[in-house]
């Protein structure tokens, strides 16, 4: 058998240049990124020792809800769902972790990619392996970064409601900016994102609102 692995941009740690390509050095700064990088390394050994081919898909910030099945994540830790929970009054406020990063508005910038686009990448990766394709490591993102404060503004615009939020101290292990270059995924798999940030927020809102 062959393997399609859900990896992460967290394997890159704090990159020195943007956007991030697959050639960007991998130097994770948190346990999540380290654990994913460990398995990517194991996959290379599986290939060398047993001929097991793989595609490691390095997700950037997975977000949104599938149009048929929604989204489930417990406990909730993701930015957009937490902002929506604050809108709905299910949590008292949304926390912005740090407003003193070296970004235009001081908050972290991330590349948000719709879960349905990610699912389509998995399908294409399976087809690639079944067709005899070689092992690949691929970034999956839109190539566009959005700050936390701009995400809040977009949530407010789409829901028509205010997001109560507070500024909290930075969290350890949060890079200032993570934005993908996914050109290799388009070349190798024919994959590209079809949904933007508004689609992501709208799908999550449709799933969660009363």
127 CB neighbour count, 10 Å cutoff: 12
Told to judge if 112 belongs to the known catalytic residues of this protein, a careful annotator would answer no
**Residue 192, CA distances (Å) to 41, 66, 68, 113, 208 in order:** 26, 17, 21, 10, 27
Marked catalytic residue, from 32, 67, 101, 112 = 32
Alpha-carbon span 127 to 129, nearest angstrom: 6
**Residue 147, CA distances (Å) to 102, 108, 167, 191 in order:** 11, 5, 14, 25
Residues noted as catalytic: 32
């Amino acid at each position: 058998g062959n393997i399609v692995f859900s990896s992460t941009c967290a394997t890159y740690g704090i990159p020195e240049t943007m956007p991030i390509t697959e050639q960007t050095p991998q130097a994770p700064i948190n346990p999540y990124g380290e654990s994913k990088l460990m398995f990517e390394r194991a996959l290379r050994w599986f290939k060398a020792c047993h001929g097991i081919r793989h595609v490691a898909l390095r997700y950037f910030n997975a977000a949104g809800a599938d149009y048929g099945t929604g989204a489930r994540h417990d406990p909730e830790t993701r930015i957009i769902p937490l902002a929506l929970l604050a809108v709905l009054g299910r949590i008292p406020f949304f926390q912005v972790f740090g407003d003193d990063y070296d970004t235009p508005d001081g908050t972290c910038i991330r590349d948000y990619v719709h879960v349905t686009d990610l699912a389509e990448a998995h399908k294409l990766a399976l087809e690639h392996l079944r067709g005899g394709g070689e092992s690949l490591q691929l970034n999956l993102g839109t190539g566009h970064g959005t700050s936390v404060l701009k995400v809040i503004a977009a949530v407010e615009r789409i829901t028509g409601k205010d997001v109560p939020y507070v500024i909290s101290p930075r969290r350890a292990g949060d890079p200032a900016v993570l934005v993908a270059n996914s050109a290799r995924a388009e070349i190798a798999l024919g994959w590209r994102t079809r949904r933007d940030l508004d689609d992501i927020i709208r799908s999550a809102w449709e799933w969660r609102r009363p």
